Amino acid sequence: MNGFFINRLLRMSPAEIIYRIGQKGQTRVERAMKDRYQFNEAVLEEKYKLFNEPVTFTDYSKIIKKADDVCANRFDIFALKDYQIEGKIDYHKDYKSGRSAPKHLFGKSINYRDSDKIGDIKYIWELNRHLFMVPLALACQHTKQSKYMEKFESLLTEWILQNPFMMGVNWSSSLELGIRLINWTICWHIIGDELKPELKKRWLDTIYRHCWFINRNLSAFSSANNHLIGEAAGLFIGSAAMPRFKASKRWRGRAYRILIRESMKQNYPDGVNKEQAISYQQFVLDFLILSGLAGEANGVKYPLKFWGIIEKMLDYLAAIEDAGGNIPQIGDEDDGYVVDLFQKEIGAYHSLLHTGAYIFKREEFLKGSMAAKSNKRDNGDIDCMGPDYKTLLLLNIRNVHIEEVGLIPGNLPDSFTDGGYYILGADFHTPSEQKLIFDCGSLGYLSLAAHGHADALAVYFSAGGRPIFIDPGTYAYHADEKWRNYFRSTAAHNTVRMDGRDQSVMSGNFMWSSKAETEIIDYKGFTKAKGLHTGYKSFNDSVLHTRTVKYEKETDHWEIEDQILCEGSHNMEIFFHIHPECCVENTDEMLMIYFEQGCCLFEKDSRLELQIHKGDEAFPSGWYSPSYDVKVPTTTLRLFKSIKGPIEVATKFSIVFNP
């Protein structure tokens, strides 16, 4: 038994161990019986729908461009940009490494984590989510050009042929089936009636098998994080908004109950997702919103508490968004989307907040977009003031007409005490904004804390809508252990490391064997936050790190006080990671961190030594990952000192904006 499975076993409760043994038995039965399962249930004559009216947009240029790329087999797959696939898509191939997963093995028996044999599973699964099928279907509907329908039918036919029931890695993860099923549902309602009858029948059979598989293989116990929500969302949407089978009502009811329960369980009352990963906040939000809307379209109403937690989750995103529309990359980030309609250009969080603004009539959800517009900080060529394609698609389901919605002004929270995030600064949503996010949250969710990072008491700071002190991101999941570990480590966050050890201890790519506990001690709205963590309590002298962040509005100065309580000798390090767009100049008196609208004057404690890292492979340090499998050099400040006994050090900085 290898180290991964030993550590995984240690994270399980006795009840989960019994459950996993049962799952192994179920897998053996499924493998033995897979050719005997018959899926010939007649579709019930029952009304179902998704969209309130035919889907239309005022501008189809980006949709047509995307559809043309798909017709030419050109795709963006993480680090592979505008990548040309020759011939038919191999749905089992990682096009980055050139490796392929076995096609003729039982899906649940394949170790998809073994990147040496099959490559990076995320590269394989990304194409299999069929995110690109929605713009292709929209182009087909709008233009009526046969080439788009022919390509759609070809891609769908090829997927069904290459992926026999329960064979290969595309039948190994219920989450992947759920995402694919959601995109298929959208496509069905756009062009399903125009498909060839024989293909439509085969597709319907495959849809049934997806629902059947998900229902039997829902995540549980320590795996019941965003995966369970995504699986339930796929099952619910597939059984509520697709042609109905005899089992659809039962599947729909089960998924409905799971979504309500997990929306409460996996999110704090203040709206922070318990995985402590911003990217998964947006991922879960999409699953919940899509499920709620698909339910409404088919007479299944979700309770107010369900919609209430969605609104709270949006509150959190809107509150931590800066005037440039930027949100810190806290926790894991893998560029995962449920539906991809150009959110990368406008920003996934912008898209969600636009949708939320019109569903909940919340004007403040658009403040970040308006501030970004006033700062001339448009992302791509989509107007960040207006609703994006995905927002318009979702509002069509809800039968919301933007011009008829009266947005109501209100206020956003300044702190999220359940989730552990506190906002300091002034002049929010203006060109002179200064915003600092203080992270005093837990490591992550459940026993694995799978998507958390060792970032207790980290800070994230932007000025004028430009990030300065950043979270460097994630970069890798399965395929590169060195960089997976670095980007999760304490050294990759704006906080303190002691004796070269992480606050929390990793035991696998998505596991931690010990977790730092955090506590907020004091918070004064926008001006002061003080917290501590216990990550170094295991040291012989029980080292305790306390951090106080203060903003003096009268003098417009910032100060970070780090207090280390200990008795013995230790090596103390403080890291600050600078956004790549900033330019750092080191003078005798202070560091000058230049950004587009001004300069950050950074002054370290005189007792600390300074090293500046940029693109250091060996340490490693000085890296920023803007997206999955992409990393670029950036500047990292490392302040360090050998100490004996307790110490308190102060780091100061201030912002000078250009005239």
| Residue 366 to residues 214, 277, 278, 314, 574, Cα–Cα distance (Å) | 36, 22, 18, 11, 36
Cα angle value 221/224/229 (rounded, 5°): 150
Tell me the C-alpha distance between 381 and 529, whole Å: 38
Answer whether residue 484 shows pLDDT above 50. Answer: yes
Beta carbons of 606 and 590 less than 8 angstroms apart = no
Q: Which of 620, 330, 537, 545 is nearest to 452 (CA)?
A: 330
Beta carbons of 458 and 493 less than 8 angstroms apart = yes
Helix spans in 298-435 (H): 304-320, 343-346, 348-360, 367-374, 389-398
Answer whether residue 181 shows pLDDT above 70. Answer: yes
Tokens for 103, please give them: 């096609």
Q: Provide CB contacts within 8 A for 139, sequence distance 6+.
A: 60, 63, 64, 66, 67, 68, 145, 148
Cα torsion angle, 594, 597, 598, 600, sign: negative
Beta carbons of 545 and 532 less than 8 angstroms apart = yes
Tell me the C-alpha distance between 168 and 504, whole Å: 35
Q: What pLDDT does residue 168 have?
A: 98
Q: Provide CB contacts within 8 A for 103, sequence distance 6+.
A: 92, 162, 167, 168
Q: What pLDDT does residue 30 have?
A: 82
Q: What pLDDT does residue 242 have?
A: 96
Reported as half-sphere exposure (CB side, CA atoms, 13 A), residue 281 has a value of 33
Answer whether residue 378 shows pLDDT above 50. Answer: no
Inter-axis angle of helices 146-162 and 61-71, nearest 10: 50
Answer whether residue 15 shows pLDDT above 90. Answer: no
Answer whether residue 612 shows pLDDT above 70. Answer: yes
- For 51-99, how does the pLDDT look when each residue is reduced to its tens digit (9 = 90+)? 999 999 999 999 999 999 999 999 999 999 999 999 999 999 999 999 9
Backbone angles phi, psi at 602, to 5 degrees: -115, 125
Answer whether residue 655 shows pLDDT above 60. Answer: yes
- For 193-251, how does the pLDDT look when each residue is reduced to its tens digit (9 = 90+)? 999 999 999 999 999 999 999 999 999 988 999 999 999 999 999 999 999 999 999 99
Q: State the DSSP H helix or E strand holding residue 55, giving kind and residue range, or none if neither.
A: none
Beta carbons of 602 and 653 less than 8 angstroms apart = yes
Q: Which of 208, 508, 103, 492 is nearest to 331 (CA)?
A: 492
Beta carbons of 636 and 579 less than 8 angstroms apart = no
Answer whether residue 549 shows pLDDT above 80. Answer: yes
Lowest mean pLDDT among 37-51, 173-187, 380-394: 380-394
Lowest mean pLDDT among 271-285, 357-371, 377-391, 571-585: 377-391
Give the residue with greater pLDDT, 505 vs 46.
505
The residue whose two tokens read 């996996």 is: 266
Global confidence as pTM: 0.96
The residue whose two tokens read 């809307």 is: 293
Give the residue with greater pLDDT, 334 vs 376.
334
Q: How confident is the model at residue 385 (pLDDT cuts 50, 70, 90)?
A: low
Mapped onto helix, strand or coil, the DSSP state of residue 109 is helix
Cα angle value 161/166/168 (rounded, 5°): 70
Q: Provide CB contacts within 8 A for 228, sequence distance 6+.
A: 218, 219, 220, 258, 262
Q: What pLDDT does residue 382 have?
A: 38
Q: What pLDDT does residue 5 have?
A: 63
Tokens for 213, please give them: 């598989």
Q: Which of 324, 352, 226 is nearest to 277 (CA)?
A: 226
Q: What pLDDT does residue 383 have?
A: 46
Cα angle value 110/509/636 (rounded, 5°): 145
Q: What pLDDT does residue 374 have?
A: 65
Tell me the C-alpha distance between 357 and 176, whole Å: 29
Percent of the chain at pLDDT > 90 equals 88
